[in-house]
Amino acid sequence: MIKRISSLGNGFVDYLNALGESWVFVFKALSEAFEAPYEIKLFIKQLYVIGVQSISVVALVGGFTGAVLAVQGEYTLSQFGASAYTGSAVALSLIRELGPVLTALMVNGRAGSSMTAELGIMKISEQIDALKAMGINPIHHLITPRLLAGTISVPLLTAIFITVGIGGGYLVGVGTLDLAAGTFISVMKQSVTPTDVISGLVKSLIFGFCLTWISCFRGWKCGFGAVGVNKATTSAVVTSSVCILVLDYFLTAILTSMFLN
């Protein structure tokens, strides 16, 4: 019994250690952003890998999400005779909630997991040691470009998600649900305010930062062998996904109360 309690305690201490280390890690990575030489090429490469290569899947998911929102929104609203407001429902849901969250989850699955695996393999095959042995700071070279690119990519991808989503909602709403095209757009314009857009943007920035942070840190701390990489990747995807959803609740609460006052 005492053994069990003590192992529980040890586990907790290990957890706190890792948490502390992850903050030191991200702080170092951010401060390296201001250190010359600026690795613009590496940053652009990561923008491409994390951002550009995610465009098609984000657009696809965005389009169908918008379409589903139109169908569901129209069904609910029609019960109150308010199906004319379907356009607002689609746009607001996408901008405030589903755009940032689903984009972050998609990027996490696509780019986050591969980041963890790549860094983990670099660690266990001594590539990170090789960098250090050449006098190159691996955080500066590997982590900083990824962290910046991830933080910037997610909001941009979210914008694509929302745009394509509204398009999908419009096509379904106007094409198959017989909503008036003019009304769809005009109610949308009326209901969406700058604060909606800002809160969506803030969320997606934070999601992008957190998911890259977690993915990079898990890869960086990867254990030995294929098992180590496997564990790190799984844990990175699960941790980031949970983080995104939990943060989403708190951010929504904070942002809503901020803008209501």
Contacts with another protein by CB under 8 A lie at 37, 118, 121-122, 125-127, 129-130, 132-136, 141
Q: Of the two residues 47 and 101, which places its CB atom closer to another protein in the complex?
A: 47
Q: Of the two residues 2 and 134, which places its CB atom closer to another protein in the complex?
A: 134
Closest CB 128 distance from another protein, rounded Å: 9
- Grouping H, G, I as helix, E, B as strand and the rest as coil, residue 99 is helix
State how far the Cα of 220 lies from the Cα of 4, in Å rounded to an integer.
Answer: 30
Cβ–Cβ under 8 Å, residues 128 and 148 = no
Q: Of the two residues 125 and 190, which places its CB atom closer to another protein in the complex?
A: 125
Q: Of the two residues 91 and 122, which places its CB atom closer to another protein in the complex?
A: 122
Closest CB 127 distance from another protein, rounded Å: 5
Cβ–Cβ under 8 Å, residues 146 and 41 = no
Closest CB 45 distance from another protein, rounded Å: 9
Closest CB 46 distance from another protein, rounded Å: 11
State how far the Cα of 47 lies from the Cα of 127, in Å rounded to an integer.
Answer: 22
Pairs from 39-42 (Cβ < 8 Å, separation ≥ 24): 39/140, 39/141, 39/144, 39/145, 42/141, 42/145
Q: Of the two residues 122 and 179, which places its CB atom closer to another protein in the complex?
A: 122
State how far the Cα of 152 lies from the Cα of 163, in Å rounded to an integer.
Answer: 17
State how far the Cα of 175 lies from the Cα of 181, in Å rounded to an integer.
Answer: 9
Where would I find the H helices in 33-98?
40-46, 55-78, 86-93
Q: Of the two residues 141 and 231, which places its CB atom closer to another protein in the complex?
A: 141
Closest CB 37 distance from another protein, rounded Å: 8
Closest CB 189 distance from another protein, rounded Å: 46
